[in-house]
Amino acid sequence: MKNCFTLIIGVLIGSFSFAQTTSLGGPFGWKDKFVPSKNPDVHVMAGFDMQQIAIEDSINDIEKNSPWRFGYKYETNFNLENSGEWITTGNGNRIWQIELICGDAITVNVIFENLNIPEGAYIYLYDKEKTNRVGAYTSRNNNAEHMLGTELVHGSHIVVEYFEPAAVAGQGSLTIANVIHGYRSLDTVQKNLMKAFESSEDCNIDVNCPLGAGWEDQIRSVAMIVVGGSGICTGALINNTCDDGTPYFLTANHCVDGQNLATWAFRFNWESPPGTEVCATVAVSTDPGSPYDQTANGATELFASAASDVALIEINNMTLTDAQNWGCFYAGWDNSDALTVTQATGIHHPSGDLKKICREDNPPTHQSWGGAACWRIANWDQGVTEPGSSGSPLFDQNHRIIGQLYGGTAACSGTNDNSQPDYYGRFGVSWPNLDTWLAPGTCGSAPTTNDGWDPVAPPSNDDAGITSVQSPTGNYCTDTFDPEVTLHNYGANNLTSATINYNIDGGTNNTFNWTGTLAPGASATVTLASMTATAGAHTFNVYTTNPNSTADTNPANDDAASSFNTTIGGELITLTLNIDFWGYETAWQSLDAGNNVVFEGGNLSVIPGGIQNADSGDPGAYADEQPL
């Protein structure tokens, strides 16, 4: 049996600019002049049967189609009223402290419920020896569910500190609803271990090894997920056509199934620093430090489906500033679902380890697995996936996402063995349910591919473009139309003027001098002067110049085009009816836009609605099986 003991010590909280604040100077309990309580409240928590847990894990880990469990979750009820001890400082500020001791745990983390952190208050978690900490968590971490899942603190003794300024005394609340005893290491960072970072198998390859060369952008999109406080999955930031930094995140349906996403934590850039990885036969990495300051918390489910084991979620408190400061990338995608993929690459966190990469040099195929429409990876040529890799992106040879890991039996022992494949839910099958978020109509028509977006790259200052053409498109029964297009500000400056150039089939150029105010990233619908076209098929071309009366710094996004067809003077329509055995029951009408009858035929006595006493002798009745 494993026993977990809980001591109550203090908690300290403050506000910051990121998902976790790092500019508060560290926990209050680490300050030299702080005097901790001499009588901390102590709780002894029930143990668990490690042998039974190991048996369960050995079964669940086989096919990777569930989050990789690393911790045993205790149900607790420690809050500011029934547990811990308050310490009041000379200026009226208050500190509540609780210490959680889990005998031989590798890591400890918690889930908060009933959470309300006032402005100026903050929470830290750290180990008793004060060697590592996570936080601070501030008012920015408040959400509608009043829940929060924290990052992991290494060690078996942790301190949770809540600091409340005098100005908001009594306004905060929290309940530690779960304490998670980490019995399997995500990174095996522990002082008394002989070897670090060996939680995944030896054939895994660090992303900073040569295999990752050329994949630097995509690597920056992938994050490890702490699921429900005790499990691990993987996923990736995914771009939308607006390039606006909305933190959409793609993972697997089986990772979100039955989970409260408000408790999730997303750890970015959990990887070996370049130059420290080992890339020979065994990819064991050195300690990258603790990048817990690059963790976002909580998410909202947008769409999830078992049909392609897909889940699109939005991270709750990750801003564009976070993404820029952390060096993240928003991955691109291909929704065509075409069997034109020549090579596949996976980027993932096997068994919660540092970020790894694997490569399949042969084309993946379409195959159903577990009831889901999947890409089948027959065998990995380099690297492999493991439990914990679930939900990780599969990229094609063009570095675009085509799926997310559902499961499979691939393992180091089966590398280059077709009998141990992996399966990824197909992004193209999921697409009709994802385009609302990833290709909103306000940012142009939905494309088949997207190459991703780097928020770290500085935007052009003055950059305008056309994202879509609303008119002319399709068929017209007239030769005159009013062009309508969407103008978008891609630049960093407000767009106040631009020249819109347009023509038919590359002919005479027309110009429209637009003026107004568009904020960076905003769009506007612009109606241009009427045009006249000859009968037949045509192409309408439109492009922008002179944004803010200066040269466009990125001409690549200036233009758009549409196809349309005009019919002048009407078009002959042939109506063909194939009459069945009861021709005398058949009648038809052709109505104009005003609902007036233009043409009609057959047994008109049955119009409208049909009658039961139609007869072959009725006026206009058709003969049975008569071709017309």
Which residues participate in catalysis according to the annotation? 254, 309, 390
Radius of gyration of the chain measured on its C-alpha atoms: 31
Helices (H) and strands (E) in the chain, counts: 6, 42
What does the alpha-carbon distance between residue 443 and residue 468 come to, in Å, rounded to a whole number? 8
How is residue 395 written in tokens? 């990229």
Q: Ramachandran region of residue 86, left (φ > 0), alpha (ψ -120 to 50) or beta?
A: beta
Task: Identify whether the C-beta of residue 267 lies closer than 8 Å to the C-beta of residue 295.
Answer: yes
Task: Identify whether the C-beta of residue 114 lies closer than 8 Å to the C-beta of residue 266.
Answer: no
Q: Please state the three-class secondary structure of 532-564 as a single string.
A: ECCCEEEEEEEEEECHHHCCCCCHHHCCEEEEE
Secondary structure element (H or E) that encloses residue 281, with its range:
none
Helix (H, G, I), strand (E, B) or coil at 389: coil
What does the alpha-carbon distance between residue 233 and residue 180 come to, in Å, rounded to a whole number? 17
Cα separations in angstroms, 414 against 259, 404, 475: 32, 21, 56
Structure letter (DSSP) for residue 16? -
Question: Residue 219 carries which side chain, given as an amino acid letter?
Answer: I
Q: At 94, phi and psi to the nearest 5?
A: -125, 145
Peptide bond into 432 cis (omega under 30): no
Peptide bond into 67 cis (omega under 30): no
Question: Residue 621 carries which side chain, given as an amino acid letter?
Answer: A
Cross-strand pairs, 8: 41
What does the alpha-carbon distance between residue 424 and residue 375 come to, in Å, rounded to a whole number? 5
What does the alpha-carbon distance between residue 586 and residue 350 come to, in Å, rounded to a whole number? 66
Task: Identify whether the C-beta of residue 475 lies closer than 8 Å to the C-beta of residue 564.
Answer: yes
Residue with tokens 């990752």: 212
Cross-strand pairs, 5: 44, 101
Backbone CA torsion sign across 91, 96, 101, 105: negative
Task: Identify whether the C-beta of residue 3 lies closer than 8 Å to the C-beta of residue 111.
Answer: no
Cα end-to-end distance, the chain, whole Å: 85
Q: Which among 509, 577, 574 is positioned nearest to 544, based on CA atoms?
A: 509
To 5 degrees, how large is the angle CA 321–CA 110–CA 406? 70
Cα separations in angstroms, 538 against 468, 484, 512, 529, 573: 17, 16, 21, 18, 22
